[in-house]
């Protein structure tokens, strides 16, 4: 039997309110106090079980696995679950929900300095330099890594239509190419006169790019 629950990563959005998530949670649209179907959003914060599967599950003709106890599978707490509510106008894309989810999941990192307390504060010019910049409405960076001499980026287009993404990195880019999900090289990508790259992504497309710098 189909279940009304679904997994959500980064965010889930309903009726002009987005729930920004720290990690994957289960959600369901349920009936609200007014009796209207789908007027409330429910989140599963913690699900515990005592058996791998049950033979008397009313939602399945066949069990998902053996009916064996999982005495150490409870992972008893304490547990801490965090999420944020973000009201917005329009749909989730027009309301900038993906960008807000990125900001929520990746807060600023703060570290103690090594200078003596009496030393003057450093100039801000060096702190304003950009290492990597990604521009493009509805485009998110989901992975960044080094693969041998190449800088590998993975992008996803979070929209119902195609759109462009522009990438700029510090240092001169001498070669750029597409790659598949396993990192195997594909066609070359032209490099702009200013050193930037521009690619077009289809709706919900995942793209892997590899850049080689000086």
Mean pLDDT of the chain: 88
Percent pLDDT > 70 in the chain is 96
Residue-wise pLDDT tens digits, 9-58? 999 998 889 999 998 999 999 887 887 777 789 999 888 788 888 888 88
- List pLDDT tens digits, range 109-136: 888 877 777 777 766 555 555 688 999 9
pLDDT score at 128: 57
User: Can you name the residues that pair with 143 across neighbouring β-strands?
Assistant: 154
- Reported as a single tens digit per residue, the pLDDT across 52-108 is 888 888 888 888 889 999 887 777 778 888 999 999 999 998 899 988 998 998 888
User: Using CA atoms, how far apart are residues 109 and 98, in angstroms rounded to an integer?
Assistant: 20
Q: Look at residue 201 in the predicted model and tell me its pLDDT.
A: 96
How many other CB atoms are found less than 10 A from the CB of residue 163?
17
Task: Spell out the domains of the chain, with CATH numbers in brackets.
Answer: 6-105 (no CATH), 131-213 (2.60.40.1180)
Is residue 21 classed exposed, middle or buried when 0-12, 13-18 and 19+ CB atoms within 10 A define those classes? buried
């Amino acid at each position: 039997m189909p279940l009304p629950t679904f997994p959500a990563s980064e965010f889930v959005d309903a009726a002009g309110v987005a729930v920004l998530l720290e990690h994957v949670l289960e959600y369901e649209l349920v009936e609200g106090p007014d009796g209207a179907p789908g007027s409330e959003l429910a989140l599963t914060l913690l699900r515990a079980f005592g058996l791998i599967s049950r033979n008397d599950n009313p939602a399945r003709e066949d069990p998902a696995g053996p009916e064996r106890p999982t005495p150490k599978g409870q992972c008893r707490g304490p547990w801490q679950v965090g999420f944020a509510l973000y009201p917005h106008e329009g749909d989730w894309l027009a309301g900038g929900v993906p960008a807000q989810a990125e900001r929520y999941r990746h807060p600023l990192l703060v570290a103690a300095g090594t200078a003596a307390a009496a030393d003057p504060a450093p100039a801000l010019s060096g702190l304003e330099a950009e290492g990597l910049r990604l521009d493009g409405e509805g485009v998110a960076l989901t992975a960044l890594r080094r693969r041998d001499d190449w800088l590998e980026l993975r992008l996803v287009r979070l929209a119902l239509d195609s759109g462009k993404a522009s990438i700029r990195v510090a240092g001169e880019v001498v070669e750029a190419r597409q790659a598949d999900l396993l990192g195997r090289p594909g066609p070359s990508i032209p490099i702009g006169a200013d050193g930037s790259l521009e690619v077009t992504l289809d709706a919900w497309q995942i793209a892997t790019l590899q850049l080689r710098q000086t």
